[in-house]
Structure 1
Amino acid sequence: MGTSCSSLQDIGSNEYLKRLCSNEILSENDPFWNALLGFSLVDLDLVVMSSSNSKLLEDAVNSLCKNLSINNAKTGNFHTQVNYFVRRLHELIRYESTDDDENINPFTWQVLNALFIIRNICKYFIQNLSEEVIIQQFQKPGSTGASVDTSITSFIAAMTTGLTKLPIHESTILLHLEIVNTLLTILGMVMYGTDMATNNVFYIEIMEGQSEEAVSAIMQFILAAYAYQDQLPAFVYREDTSASLSSTLWSVMTLGMVRGAHTDTMKVNLALQSALLLLTLTNHPYTGNPYAKVLSSFLDDENKPLVKPESLYASLCKDLHNEHATLLLYKLLHENQVMRAFVLSRTDMEKLAEPLLMVLYQQDDQTSSNHIYLTLITLLMLTEDDGFNKDLFQTRLRAVKWYKEKHLTDVTLGDMFILVAIKVMQYNMSHSKDKYLHTNCLAMLANMSSKFENVHPYACQRLLAFYSALAKRHDKTRERLQLSQLVATNEEERPSPSAHLLTDLQEIQEMIRMVSEVINSCITHTVHTNSHLVHVMLCHRMEFEKLRELEPFKHILQNVHQLLEQFHKKLEDQFGDQPRSVAQVMEVIENGLKTFRRGSFLKFPDLKFKYVEETDSSQFFVPYVWQIVCRKSNLYFKQSKFH
């Protein structure tokens, strides 16, 4: 065995790695490989959960990888190592499929260490070399072009076979993790090209080189790793008294692992890495993407679900504060009718909806805007279903500890949708002023509006307070516009701010119109159950009347005017100018609603907004997925070289 490295920085001076990267030609049967890839694991103190060790390793081996890229054209040592890995992996698969012994197969560490070294060499290649040169690095010196594809094909095929055929247990789970990490690394080549939608050699091989059965098996493994993450075995560490280079490789090979309560076990975060791999595969804009097709059908070759929907649902619910889980849920709802129907049939929807609402509610300047958009769109898609909207106001939450503005008890999930949507719009009005975000918040409320039932008094107050704030902003903007038009003397010589103010006014009017439509839809369909809303509307009666005098709102506020006039008259008839308590007013409203008739209300089309994905959505999703991978995978990518 070789000498153990005391730190990651010492790897660059390791004699075995120097030989691998030198101009010495190493045959596949050379004893060198056993020495390099020995399996002693003694240094657990360097195990980390961030990409810091990955960066240290990359810096340490950079010069070695550079030497290899130069010498490999003559030695073919990288080609030899890849072949060694492929052969050993197939031997391991045969051994694991026929052996019941749970002890670690000695092949496991050799295969694991070989792939780990290959992954880090590949990362150097994709960050520093062109695609053409990378293909040559896989090639045996002196071989023809035909064997190039065979070499890469066998490498990819071996990994996908290992992923799906190798039994997963406490001794092999690290190898599964390393395969997933290697696939993520080589697919990351798109970040260093001129176009992230490019179908490079690795994507082409993974998309075209796998049979339908293989693609289905890969997707089943990835989904199962995420859906059944609580059932994944912990890695069991067995210390060896010998020492080798692999003791230091171990410290960075275990990125994404969590130390267990006992020093001999490690929890492997295969679920996270698998979810990231799924997103990179299914979002790539490859024509006829087979992985996206499998995700859409959600069925295996026997027309059975790839995983149990309830297990996938449970894992998603626990993970929706993370971007990768939100994006996965979005993909399932948007493209998978089986999972969409399952989600909408759940009676515990608060487990899914509350985490999404919390993401929107707790946003600040550090929150990813893409995460906010995706969360909002996901909720919008859910509100496209009338059954979901009805259930929102029948699902009661005893306490909402994460809502800080007011201590709320015994509210419905629908109330929280209203409150969070209003807070998001208020925050947006004072920060980014994103029209797209406002539109989607209001579209979500519009979809729900016909099912508003027994809306909580506080939710009613916040809705009408927001409406009042819009009305005041409308008045101020209109006054400023009129003033700017009066003082403008020569528009050709001095640009007038009128155009900007006019745009602002039109946007505010559109928001007022949509909120008015939400209120109108509610009183048209469910006014009898919303006495608190009627009460708060009466408090804002003069604002409604002022807006109704304006042409853009006259028609949409006609029903509101009719409702408020009737109840205002009832209160005047009963109390006149005498003081009245809230309880007295509520009693009049509740009694009046029992006999209230909506027959004279104007008829408006039902409010229905449906999310439609952009035709060129890959321009958003591909970069977004790789942003998530860079942040969450614990795999360090040199972003200074991104195109």
Structure 2
Amino acid sequence: MGANTSQVSDLSESQSIRTLIGPDAISENEPFWNQLISFTFTSPTCSADAKLLEEAVVPLAKTLIQNNPRSGNFGALVRVFLSRTKELKISTECQDQLFIWQAHNALFLVRCLLKVFIRQMNEEELHLQFSYQERAPGTYDSICEDLLEELVCNLVHLIVEVPLLDITYNILFEAVTTLLVLLSYQLFHKEVLREGLIYSCRGVCRDLIAVPIHSEHDDVMRNLTDRCIPVTFNVISVLMISVFSESGSFPNSLSASVVVFICGGCLLTSWLCFSLLVGPRCPVLPILEILYHVEERNSHHVYMALIILLILTEDDTFNRSIHEVMLKNISWYTERVLTEISLGSLLILVVIRTIQFNMTRTRDKYLHTNCLAALANMSAQFRNLHQYAAQRIISLFALLSKKHNKVLEQATQSLRGPLGADDTTVLPDYAQDLNVIEEVIRMMLEIINSCLSNSLHHNPNLLYALLYKRELFEQFRSHPSFQDIMQNLDTVIGFFSQRLEQAGSDLSVERVQEVIKKGAAALPKERLKKFPELKFKYVEEEQPEDFFIPYVWSLVFNSGVGLYWNSQGIELLGMDSP
């Protein structure tokens, strides 16, 4: 490499690279470094290109490993990069593309070498590679500055402080990718790492919680939307790995990790709410698309999507914001043409579809619980629900009602029929099914009641759908499990039914909607019984890192976002070759 355009095939022939990996020490002040990092090279964006690059780097890195104890050139390269990061934010403000370009190239070289180092040596040996300086072979200064920790701190500072612009995209991509590489020792261990030189630096990654990726310029973000995906993916990966590896670093590790996770969740939610209003692309849509294609996704993807939704719906600001964001022509939603719909209504449609899929296919109580909890959290903030979303809420209740009647009939028949030796388990199975269905029905009634009690006048379409199918609710009026919650629904149905009767017969749809809107403003709120606010929270497991860290690394491994790992030797994901 040097002051020209470089390709993978040029690496072994580059005189600058040969000098870097050679036995002779190079002072940080020599002009050589400007020549070395003045090259044009397109960083890999897929695993295939990353594999070719790594195969070319491996023999060069092995030579450097042999010579670095004498030359200390790797540490010198790191210090050259660090010296340029000190003025990187100013360079960004001044649009100094040359300075940013050279800083990026220096970091790119560091990252490529680190990637090979980590496969060739343990953490202690890697730390020595940072410590070697020009001196007698095999010696190092034990009291020198911790260059590894300084590198990690600078990378985090760079990500936090430097805005995402067109001229900074590449260096930000390299920064987060380098952090992933440094954390990748985890891939080669079956157990979750809680100690080690690399992981002792991870406390600084808590600063990333305030980031997901920021920009001070909306127009720039619009232009960078598609390019931001790899950077955002890598930042979130580093954030998740850092947060869930946090325990064990502090005297009171549990409280520290909980604080970090809670702060991260709050800031992430705030960022998402802000992004909903001003961002160029809604960050919640990919989550909804995962749930919409539930039959094509593995359970881990679906569970993670639901966990994220549940955490987001714990925040009332989020629940209000999603009804203010209007979307047009959602291409992946194919059940019905939706020319325009609010994000809130779309979220309701997707969650209800997930519930219905689960009822007919997987019958996973976990999915039901989390889907209903998310709907319940949002219910008090339902606003101007789309006609189709309102219909689907009532349609889901109709499906549950039908299923309830079927199971009840089967249970009744099993009581009447003779019990043989093989029939003793039939009744308990029906009883359990009936209990589960009644719990779900109760939850749906509470969701509908919460909407009517808190935002009745904002949801004429839900009132219309409720009145159109009011006969569905009659059978539950006297049911002991639903009597209390049915009082409010009876009040609403009775009030509006009377208004519609007074308006005359053969009413048009428009006339019915007019009556409903006027009635919603006239219904006294004191006539509705107050119930406790529906609030559900995601309950974290005792050691969530045992699930999340392998899961996040599996996403990184399979993403192909600028990185490649040979599956041989990877133990965390069960890929170690015999």
Provide the TM-score with structure 1 as the length reference: 0.66
The correspondence of residues 103-122 of structure 1 with structure 2, limited to 5 A, is 104=98, 116-122=108-114
Residue of structure 2 aligned with 1:635, choices 555, 560, 563 = 563
Amino acid at match of 1:440: N
Counterpart contact for 2:43–2:562, Cα < 8 Å: no
Counterparts in 2 of 1:138 and 1:479: CA distance versus 1, 3 Å: farther
Amino acid at match of 2:452: I
What's the offset of the Cα at 1:421? 2.9
Counterpart contact for 1:37–1:114, Cα < 8 Å: no
What's the offset of the Cα at 1:425? 2.3
Distance across 1 between alignment mates of 2:527 and 2:88 = 76
Residue of structure 1 aligned with 2:393, choices 457, 463, 467 = 463
Counterpart contact for 2:345–2:389, Cα < 8 Å: yes
What's the offset of the Cα at 1:509? 2.0
The correspondence of residues 215-614 of structure 1 with structure 2, limited to 5 A, is 223=211, 226-228=214-216, 273=234, 276-286=237-247, 287-288=249-250, 334-336=265-267, 349=277, 355-357=283-285, 359-361=287-289, 363-364=292-293, 365-367=295-297, 372-385=302-315, 389=319, 395=324, 397=326, 399=328, 401-402=330-331, 404-408=334-338, 414-452=344-382, 455-481=385-411, 489-490=420-421, 496=425, 501-527=430-456, 530=459, 532-564=461-493, 582=509, 596=523, 601-614=528-541
Partner residue of 2:177? 181
1:88 aligns with 2:77: no
Counterparts in 2 of 1:564 and 1:78: CA distance versus 1, 3 Å: farther
Counterpart contact for 1:527–1:593, Cα < 8 Å: yes
Counterpart contact for 1:5–1:11, Cα < 8 Å: no
Counterpart contact for 1:415–1:456, Cα < 8 Å: yes
Amino acid at match of 2:420: T
Counterparts in 2 of 1:285 and 1:495: CA distance versus 1, 3 Å: farther
Partner residue of 1:248? none
Partner residue of 1:52? 48
Amino acid at match of 2:475: K
Q: Which has the larger displacement, 460-469 or 161-170? A: 161-170
1:126 aligns with 2:54: no
SS at match of 1:84: helix
Amino acid at match of 2:406: K
Counterpart contact for 1:197–1:284, Cα < 8 Å: yes
Counterpart contact for 2:411–2:427, Cα < 8 Å: yes
Distance across 2 between alignment mates of 1:224 and 1:450 = 29
What's the offset of the Cα at 1:468? 0.5
Distance across 2 between alignment mates of 1:95 and 1:560 = 64
Counterpart contact for 1:284–1:618, Cα < 8 Å: yes
What's the offset of the Cα at 1:202? 1.2
Counterpart contact for 1:428–1:434, Cα < 8 Å: yes
What's the offset of the Cα at 1:185? 0.8
Distance across 1 between alignment mates of 2:356 and 2:214 = 36
What's the offset of the Cα at 1:521? 2.6
Counterpart contact for 1:383–1:448, Cα < 8 Å: yes
Distance across 1 between alignment mates of 2:508 and 2:167 = 72
Distance across 1 between alignment mates of 2:536 and 2:55 = 51
Distance across 2 between alignment mates of 1:78 and 1:504 = 72
Counterparts in 2 of 1:191 and 1:546: CA distance versus 1, 3 Å: same
Task: Let me know the Cα RMSD of the aligned residues.
Answer: 5.5
The correspondence of residues 157-236 of structure 1 with structure 2, limited to 5 A, is 157-158=150-151, 160-161=153-154, 178-207=174-203, 223=211, 226-228=214-216
What's the offset of the Cα at 1:514? 0.5
Amino acid at match of 2:389: A
Counterpart contact for 2:313–2:319, Cα < 8 Å: yes
What's the offset of the Cα at 1:516? 0.8
Q: Which has the larger displacement, 364-373 or 119-128? A: 364-373
Counterparts in 2 of 1:396 and 1:206: CA distance versus 1, 3 Å: closer
What's the offset of the Cα at 1:268? 12
Counterparts in 2 of 1:19 and 1:481: CA distance versus 1, 3 Å: farther
- Matched pairs, number: 552
What's the offset of the Cα at 1:17? 7.0
Counterpart contact for 2:130–2:148, Cα < 8 Å: no
Counterpart contact for 1:384–1:608, Cα < 8 Å: yes
Partner residue of 1:261? none
What's the offset of the Cα at 1:55? 0.8
Counterpart contact for 1:478–1:505, Cα < 8 Å: yes
SS at match of 2:562: coil
Counterparts in 2 of 1:539 and 1:102: CA distance versus 1, 3 Å: closer
Counterpart contact for 1:460–1:536, Cα < 8 Å: yes
What's the offset of the Cα at 1:397? 3.7
Distance across 2 between alignment mates of 1:570 and 1:89 = 75
Counterpart contact for 2:127–2:148, Cα < 8 Å: no
Counterparts in 2 of 1:230 and 1:58: CA distance versus 1, 3 Å: farther
Amino acid at match of 1:622: I
What's the offset of the Cα at 1:182? 2.7
Counterparts in 2 of 1:295 and 1:272: CA distance versus 1, 3 Å: farther
Counterparts in 2 of 1:626 and 1:172: CA distance versus 1, 3 Å: same
Counterpart contact for 2:272–2:283, Cα < 8 Å: no
Unaligned 5+ residue runs, structure 1?
A: 234-255, 259-266, 298-329
Distance across 1 between alignment mates of 2:154 and 2:377 = 46
Counterpart contact for 2:457–2:520, Cα < 8 Å: yes
Counterpart contact for 2:269–2:315, Cα < 8 Å: no
What's the offset of the Cα at 1:471? 1.4
What's the offset of the Cα at 1:623? 3.2
Amino acid at match of 1:156: E
Residue of structure 1 aligned with 2:553, choices 602, 626, 629 = 626
Distance across 1 between alignment mates of 2:239 and 2:307 = 20
Counterpart contact for 1:392–1:412, Cα < 8 Å: yes
Spell out, residue by residue over 1:615-639, the C-alpha distance to the aligned partner (whole angstroms, 9 max, x if none).
Answer: 5333344334434443264121234
Counterparts in 2 of 1:122 and 1:475: CA distance versus 1, 3 Å: same
Distance across 2 between alignment mates of 1:104 and 1:350 = 32
Distance across 2 between alignment mates of 1:478 and 1:587 = 39
Distance across 2 between alignment mates of 1:555 and 1:161 = 60
Counterparts in 2 of 1:482 and 1:196: CA distance versus 1, 3 Å: farther
What's the offset of the Cα at 1:544? 1.6
